[in-house]
Copies of this chain bind each other. A is one copy, B any other.
Amino acid sequence: MPPFDVPEGDPFGPHNLPYGVFSPSGSTERRVGVRLGEYVLDAGAAAAALRSPHHPLLARPTLNALLAAGRPTWSQVRHAVTAWVTDPAHRETVEPLFYLLSEVTLHLPFEVADYVDFYASENHARNVGQIFRPDAEDSLTPNWKHLPIGYHGRAGTVIASGTDVVRPSGQRKGPGDPAPVFGPSIRLDIEAEVGFVVGAPSELGKQVGLGDFREHVFGLCLLNDWSARDIQAWEYVPLGPFLGKSFATSVSAWITPLDALEHARVAPPQRTHPLLPYLDDSTPQTEPGGYDLHISVAINGHVVSEPPFSTMYWTAAQQLAHMTVNGASLRTGDLYGSGTVSGPEESQRGSLLELTWNGRDPLELPDGKRAFLEDGDVVTLSAWAPGADGRRVGLGEVSGRIVSG
């Protein structure tokens, strides 16, 4: 079936049009692509063929030039690309510029500047608190309802979906061990997250307000924040996670523009604590900050969890406002993760730590029990969001296979 004839119900139809970077079969040249159904359009070639003024942003090896261009240009380019792939007048010119997805190599779509990871799901934070601090009066730390807790991660080890993940080695120390031991992690885990991609930069010393979220953030992707729980547990006091996370963070090869998710915007959960003005999204003028993304986590093709992103307590707009409230600047290519998405139900938890309650209740998979990940396991996150007229907007999946170190 030719690309223009994408079926009506396809979650990657012309209402979606996520951006990525691909190489045609047999080539190592990187090109900006736009996904349509099971095809990818060579966006730079299409821009050249149709003499688009946006050609300089699209004939590139990464999305960074497009990301840097800012919201008005993002809308213009999306408008143009939509016409290219839907207007019958362009069909003859554009159709030869599509490649079958199955015949291209997909790459990390942008150069990551800084990577920040948040901790925005109340269900996740409470589960983790109960597991690690069972005697604490409150499973949340005292700051949790007042600010979106976050920390910086390693930008250099953000990898594209499909890249193998080498099981990390490191120090671990169980409560009964007299001294730490060294070896491959034996508690390798996932964290199902959504990643937000900053396009337009901001100036050092200037805060980015809640209302400026859409001026700076281009789009989102799925993100798997692989976590070695044994390494993390021994290292993280007092300065936070480091080697337990820094070996790899996988992102989907497709960045979904916020413009494709207009119909997925929802109000976040009711706030239980008053918020300081720079985080307060309860005023009537504030646009809904949540996104109704339906995530699915599969291990070796078997779905183990379906975390609902709409349950996240802190929104991406609040996270951006918080990240910059101290004057920290944004750069094109900054990536920030939502934090593990866990819903209120057991079947909605976004990590094995929670799904197996720290290994106590292993999952029963068709190929055996799992407390944590084994070598050879393939973890795949996928998701959809509601679009107009009952359509679904698909997010690019993020997948990774564990290989021994």
A247 vs B330: C-alpha distance in the bound complex, in angstroms?
A: 11
A206 closest partner in B (C-beta): B166
A155 vs B111: C-alpha distance in the bound complex, in angstroms?
A: 14
Per-residue B-contact encoding for A212-247, CB less than 8 Å = 1, 0 else: 000000000000000010010011111111111011
A167 closest partner in B (C-beta): B327
Report if A277-B182 is in contact (Cβ < 8 Å); known contacts: A143-B234, A247-B327. yes
A322 vs B182: C-alpha distance in the bound complex, in angstroms?
A: 12
Contacts of A235 in B (CB 8 A): 143, 147, 149
Answer whether residue A113 sits at the interface, using C-beta atoms and an 8 A cutoff. yes
Report if A242-B150 is in contact (Cβ < 8 Å); known contacts: A143-B235, A156-B334. yes
A150 vs B236: C-alpha distance in the bound complex, in angstroms?
A: 9
Q: Are B243 and A154 within 8 A (Cβ)?
A: no
Answer whether residue A170 sits at the interface, using C-beta atoms and an 8 A cutoff. yes
Q: Are A238 and B239 within 8 A (Cβ)?
A: no
Per-residue B-contact encoding for A237-262, CB less than 8 Å = 1, 0 else: 11111111011100000000000000
Report if A243-B328 is in contact (Cβ < 8 Å); known contacts: A113-B156, A147-B235, A180-B146. yes
Answer whether residue A326 sits at the interface, using C-beta atoms and an 8 A cutoff. yes
A277 vs B169: C-alpha distance in the bound complex, in angstroms?
A: 13
State the Cβ distance, A229 to closest chain B Cβ, in Å: 13
A331 vs B112: C-alpha distance in the bound complex, in angstroms?
A: 12
Q: Are A237 and B327 within 8 A (Cβ)?
A: no
Contacts of A154 in B (CB 8 A): 114, 152, 328
Report if A276-B171 is in contact (Cβ < 8 Å); known contacts: A242-B150, A247-B326. yes
A128 vs B325: C-alpha distance in the bound complex, in angstroms?
A: 26
State the Cβ distance, A15 to closest chain B Cβ, in Å: 34
A278 vs B171: C-alpha distance in the bound complex, in angstroms?
A: 10
A141 vs B239: C-alpha distance in the bound complex, in angstroms?
A: 11
Answer whether residue A83 sits at the interface, using C-beta atoms and an 8 A cutoff. no
Contacts of A156 in B (CB 8 A): 113-114, 328-331, 334
CB contact between A157 and one of B141, B204, B246 (< 8 Å): that residue: B204
Per-residue B-contact encoding for A158-173, CB less than 8 Å = 1, 0 else: 0100000010111101
A238 vs B240: C-alpha distance in the bound complex, in angstroms?
A: 7
Q: Are A152 and B405 within 8 A (Cβ)?
A: no
Answer whether residue A205 sits at the interface, using C-beta atoms and an 8 A cutoff. yes
Q: Are A166 and B114 within 8 A (Cβ)?
A: no
A118 closest partner in B (C-beta): B239
16 contacts between A and B (CB under 8 A): A143-B171, A143-B180, A146-B173, A146-B180, A147-B234, A150-B239, A152-B152, A156-B328, A156-B331, A156-B334, A166-B327, A169-B326, A180-B276, A236-B240, A240-B241, A246-B326
Shortest beta-carbon contacts, A-B, top 7: A240-B240, A168-B326, A166-B205, A152-B152, A151-B239, A243-B326, A247-B326
Q: 6 new A-B pairs (CB below 8 Å) besides A157-B329, A239-B241? A: A114-B155, A146-B180, A147-B234, A170-B326, A243-B325, A247-B326
